[in-house]
Amino acid sequence: MKLVIAGSSGGVGQAITLYALAHTSHTLLLLDKSLPPSAPEAFHQHSHRLEHRAVDLLDYRAYRTALEGADALIHLAGIPGLIKGKWDDGESAALVHNTNVQLSFNAFQAAAEAGLKAVAMADSINAIGGVYSPHDPKYDFFPIDETHAIKAADAYSLSKAIIELQGDAISRAYPAVTLTTLRLHHVTPAKRIPAEWVARAGRDLWGWVNDESAARAFLLAVEREGGGHEVVNIVGDDHRAEGHDAAHLAATYHPQAEIRGEVKGGSAFYDSAKAERVLGWKHLGGRMPSKE
Ligand SMILES: NC(=O)c1ccc[n+]([C@@H]2O[C@H](COP(=O)([O-])OP(=O)(O)OC[C@H]3O[C@@H](n4cnc5c(N)ncnc54)[C@H](O)[C@@H]3O)[C@@H](O)[C@H]2O)c1
């Protein structure tokens, strides 16, 4: 397929590009406002399958034009969190919120209008409120699935919650396009967190997802068929606070949360079973993307 990756120069974009080059035969159009200063070796080896284009995707017409003739879109472009040191600054909050929701709307709308088959949209577990919350986040139950109430209270989390509404709206208007919105947790090759961060990382429940596994989820999502919009958690099935028991972490840091499923030992606080149902994705194992 001809796959467009928007926001391709960022951390997740590079992981998906490398994974797609290694495991599929897709032709890739890489869009970003700034091209990476140096491309990994694999990009040079597969240069016949890659095109880089510098585009400001806040410009709807430019985004729509870039999607002409493509089969599917992975959209990652945005500001991936509140701006460091400026959590209390309204202007920074407006920049994060407005940039993210404008980019995601452009992505969904342009893909649907251009007749693409599928869109995989980067979302975050922060859509329900989490690490950036101005107050200690209060979760209702563990493990958290996609039915948990939205309690976003900061600009980044709100932008992610709105992305999910945008997906629903575009899906009602364009039922033929298949939209999948992927709630990622901290995307990283390595799982551990330093011991002194255990309390802080409790705000978003010690979660993570391996970068290659996250990349696989996006490639499975653009193969999904049948129309409609689904939101899925893409989170590892183990927590990162190694050596700490999940039941003890829950009781210590989030005593108000109802325990509805297995929360013990090394188990995760997020339930990604829907991703397995909808995409065949599992953090380890699960379905591989098809080559074509
Ligand atoms: N990295 C994580 O752990 C993580 C976790 C949860 C969710 N996410 C989400 O995944 C997505 C990608 O995250 P990332 O870590 O790769 O972020 P990143 O900042 O590394 O990459 C984002 C890319 O978007 C591009 N971009 C921003 N504005 C643009 C514009 N107007 N036009 C074109 N390109 C533009 C940037 O140049 C950058 O290359 C984000 O939506 C983020 O919220 C990431």
Domains and CATH numbers, the chain: 2-279 (3.40.50.720)
- CA of 269 from ligand 1 middle (Å) equals 24
- CA of 250 from ligand 1 middle (Å) equals 30
Ligand 1 atom 42, closest CA? 80
Cβ-in-10-Å burial (0-12, 13-18, 19+) of 85 comes to exposed
Give the number of the atom of ligand 1 that is nearest the alpha carbon of residue 15: 16
Q: Could you read off the pLDDT tens digit of each residue along the chain, which spans 292 residues?
A: 999 999 999 999 999 999 999 999 999 999 999 988 777 888 888 889 999 999 999 999 999 999 999 999 999 999 999 999 998 899 999 999 999 999 999 999 999 999 999 999 999 999 999 999 999 999 999 999 999 999 999 999 999 999 999 999 999 999 999 999 999 999 999 887 888 889 888 999 999 999 999 999 999 999 999 999 999 999 999 999 989 999 999 999 999 999 999 999 999 999 999 999 999 999 999 999 998 8
Structure token digits, residue 125: 């577990």
Q: What is the pTM of this model?
A: 0.98
Rg (CA), the chain: 18
268 and 283 in contact (C-beta within 8 Å)?
Answer: no
- CA of 249 from ligand 1 middle (Å) equals 30
- CA of 208 from ligand 1 middle (Å) equals 17
Give the number of the atom of ligand 1 that is nearest the alpha carbon of residue 9: 39
Give the number of the atom of ligand 1 that is nearest the alpha carbon of residue 81: 43
